[in-house]
Structure 1
Amino acid sequence: MTDEWTGGIVTDRGGDGPPTVEEWVSVSGPERPSGFGDEGPIAYRTTVADPRDDETERALLELRGVSGRAEIWLNGTRLGSHDSPVVPARFEFEPRSENELIVVCERPESFAGIDETDAVPDHFETPGVRWGVEVESRPRCFIRRFDVQPRLGTDSESDASADASAASAANAATDGAGAAIDVTLEVDAGAAIDDAVTLSLRPEGFRGGAAMERVPVTAEAGERVTVSKTLSIREPSLWWPRKYGPQDRYTVRAKLGGDSAERTVGLRRVERDEDGLLVNGRRVRARGFTRLPGGDPEADVRRAVDANATLLRARAHVPPRSFYEACDEAGILVWQDLPASGPELPVERGTELAAAIAETYGSHPSLAMYGVQDQPMDPYAEPLGSGLLAKLALRYRAWRTSVDRDPAADIADAIPGDLPVVPVTGPPGTDPDAAQLFPGWRYLAAEDADWLLETYPSLGDVVGGFGAGSLTDDADPATIPGLEPALLERQAGAGGIAPESSQASQADTLKTVAEALRRRGSGIVAASTLRDTASGGGMGIYTIDGDSKPAAAAIARSYEPVQAVLDGRATPGTVGITLCNDTHDALEAIVGWRAGDETDTERVSVGPLETVPAGTARIPRDAETVDLEVAVDDLTVRNRYNL
Structure 2
Amino acid sequence: MTDEWTAGVVTDAGGDDPPTVEGWRPVSVPGRPAAFADADGPITYRTTVPDPRDEASERALLEIGGTDGPAEAWLNGSRLGASDVGFVPARLEFDPRLENELLVVCERPDSFAGIRGTDAVPDRFDTPGIRWGVAVESRPRTFLRAFEARPRLGPVSAGDASEGAASAANAALDGAGAAIDVTLEVDAGAAVDDAVTLSLRPEGFRGGAAMERVPVRAEAGERTTVSRTLTIREPSLWWPREYGPQDRYTVRAKLEGDTRERTVGLRRVERDGDGLLVNGRRVRARGFTRLPGGDPRADVDRAVDANATLLRARGHVPSPSFYEACDEAGLLVWQDLPACGADLPVERGIELATALAEAYGGHPSLAMYGVQDRPADPYAEPLGEGLLAKLAVRYRAWRASVDREPADEIAENLPDELPVVSVAGPPGTDPDAAHLFPGWRYLEAADIDWLLETYPSLGEVVGRFGAGSLATDEADPATIPGLEPSLLADGADAEDSQREQAQILKTVAETLRRRECGVLAASTLRDPAPGGGMGAHTADGEPKRAAEAIAQSYEPIQAVLDGPPTPGAVGITLCNDSHEAVETTVGWRAGEETAATTVDVDPLETASAGTARIPPDAERVDLEVAVGDRTVRNRYYL
| TM bucket normalised to smaller | over 0.9
Contact kept in structure 2, 1:156 and 1:178, CA below 8 Å:
no
1:395 matched residue in structure 2: 394
Residues 184-583 of structure 1 mapped to structure 2, 5 A cutoff: 184-473=183-472, 474-488=474-488, 492-493=489-490, 496-583=491-578
1:617 matched residue in structure 2: 612
Q: Which moved more, 1:143-152 or 1:537-546?
A: 537-546
Q: Residue by residue, what CA displacement relative to the aligned partner does 1:439-486 show, whole Å, maximum 9, x if unpaired?
A: 111111111111111111100100000001111112111111111111
Contact kept in structure 2, 1:439 and 1:449, CA below 8 Å:
yes
> How far apart are 1:564 and its partner, in Å?
0.6
Q: Residue by residue, what CA displacement relative to the aligned partner does 1:527-583 show, whole Å, maximum 9, x if unpaired?
A: 000011111111111111111111111111101111110011101111111111111
> How far apart are 1:320 and its partner, in Å?
1.0
Provide the rounded CA distance (Å) in 2 between the counterparts of 1:223 and 1:453: 61
> How far apart are 1:167 and its partner, in Å?
3.9
> How far apart are 1:173 and its partner, in Å?
3.8
Provide the rounded CA distance (Å) in 1 between the counterparts of 2:31 and 2:536: 25
Residues 593-608 of structure 1 mapped to structure 2, 5 A cutoff: 593-608=588-603
2:14 matched residue in structure 1: 14
Secondary structure of 1:364's partner? coil
- The one-letter code of the counterpart of 1:443 is Y
TM-score in terms of structure 2 length? 0.98
Provide the rounded CA distance (Å) in 1 between the counterparts of 2:166 and 2:401: 46
Provide the rounded CA distance (Å) in 2 between the counterparts of 1:218 and 1:252: 22
Provide the rounded CA distance (Å) in 2 between the counterparts of 1:217 and 1:70: 34
Contact kept in structure 1, 2:68 and 2:87, CA below 8 Å:
no
Contact kept in structure 2, 1:38 and 1:125, CA below 8 Å:
no
Secondary structure of 2:323's partner? helix
- The one-letter code of the counterpart of 1:68 is G
> How far apart are 1:171 and its partner, in Å?
4.2
- The one-letter code of the counterpart of 2:23 is E
> How far apart are 1:633 and its partner, in Å?
4.2
- The one-letter code of the counterpart of 1:86 is F
> How far apart are 1:634 and its partner, in Å?
2.7
Percent pairwise identity: 76
Contact kept in structure 2, 1:170 and 1:245, CA below 8 Å:
no
1:134 matched residue in structure 2: 135
- Answering whether residue 637 of structure 2 is matched by residue 638 of structure 1, we say no
Q: Which moved more, 1:623-632 or 1:309-318?
A: 623-632
Listed as ranges, the gaps of 5+ residues in structure 2 are none
Provide the rounded CA distance (Å) in 1 between the counterparts of 2:260 and 2:273: 41
Secondary structure of 1:238's partner? coil
Provide the rounded CA distance (Å) in 2 between the counterparts of 1:175 and 1:13: 58
TM-score in terms of structure 1 length? 0.97
Contact kept in structure 1, 2:9 and 2:39, CA below 8 Å:
no
> How far apart are 1:170 and its partner, in Å?
4.7
The 1:632/1:71 distance shift into structure 2, 3 A limit, reads closer
Q: Residue by residue, what CA displacement relative to the aligned partner does 1:584-612 show, whole Å, maximum 9, x if unpaired?
A: 21211111100000001111111111111
Secondary structure of 1:353's partner? helix
Contact kept in structure 1, 2:334 and 2:366, CA below 8 Å:
yes
Provide the rounded CA distance (Å) in 1 between the counterparts of 2:89 and 2:379: 38
Q: Residue by residue, what CA displacement relative to the aligned partner does 1:191-230 show, whole Å, maximum 9, x if unpaired?
A: 1111111100000011110000111111111111000000
2:31 matched residue in structure 1: 31
2:146 matched residue in structure 1: 145
Provide the rounded CA distance (Å) in 2 between the counterparts of 1:461 and 1:113: 24
> How far apart are 1:162 and its partner, in Å?
2.9
Q: Which moved more, 1:281-290 or 1:609-618?
A: 609-618
> How far apart are 1:158 and its partner, in Å?
6.6
- The one-letter code of the counterpart of 2:246 is Q
- The one-letter code of the counterpart of 2:124 is H
2:69 matched residue in structure 1: 68
> How far apart are 1:131 and its partner, in Å?
1.1
Listed as ranges, the gaps of 5+ residues in structure 1 are none
> How far apart are 1:46 and its partner, in Å?
0.5
> How far apart are 1:19 and its partner, in Å?
0.8
Provide the rounded CA distance (Å) in 1 between the counterparts of 2:291 and 2:18: 34
> How far apart are 1:352 and its partner, in Å?
0.9
- The one-letter code of the counterpart of 2:196 is V
Provide the rounded CA distance (Å) in 2 between the counterparts of 1:233 and 1:563: 39
Provide the rounded CA distance (Å) in 1 between the counterparts of 2:234 and 2:65: 36
Contact kept in structure 2, 1:602 and 1:615, CA below 8 Å:
yes
The 1:30/1:12 distance shift into structure 2, 3 A limit, reads farther
Q: Residue by residue, what CA displacement relative to the aligned partner does 1:280-310 show, whole Å, maximum 9, x if unpaired?
A: 1100000000011111111111110000000
- The one-letter code of the counterpart of 1:101 is L
Contact kept in structure 2, 1:449 and 1:516, CA below 8 Å:
yes
> How far apart are 1:169 and its partner, in Å?
3.0
Contact kept in structure 2, 1:158 and 1:174, CA below 8 Å:
no
Secondary structure of 1:176's partner? helix
Contact kept in structure 2, 1:202 and 1:252, CA below 8 Å:
yes
- The one-letter code of the counterpart of 1:65 is G
Provide the rounded CA distance (Å) in 2 between the counterparts of 1:182 and 1:516: 43
Provide the rounded CA distance (Å) in 1 between the counterparts of 2:146 and 2:606: 49
Contact kept in structure 2, 1:158 and 1:173, CA below 8 Å:
no
Contact kept in structure 2, 1:156 and 1:176, CA below 8 Å:
no
Secondary structure of 1:425's partner? strand
1:4 matched residue in structure 2: 4
- The one-letter code of the counterpart of 1:416 is P
Provide the rounded CA distance (Å) in 2 between the counterparts of 1:633 and 1:350: 48
Provide the rounded CA distance (Å) in 2 between the counterparts of 1:15 and 1:356: 28
Superposition CA RMSD, Å: 1.1
Provide the rounded CA distance (Å) in 2 between the counterparts of 1:604 and 1:29: 56
Secondary structure of 1:92's partner? strand
> How far apart are 1:165 and its partner, in Å?
4.0
2:110 matched residue in structure 1: 109
Secondary structure of 1:174's partner? helix
> How far apart are 1:87 and its partner, in Å?
1.9
> How far apart are 1:30 and its partner, in Å?
4.9
Provide the rounded CA distance (Å) in 2 between the counterparts of 1:368 and 1:324: 11
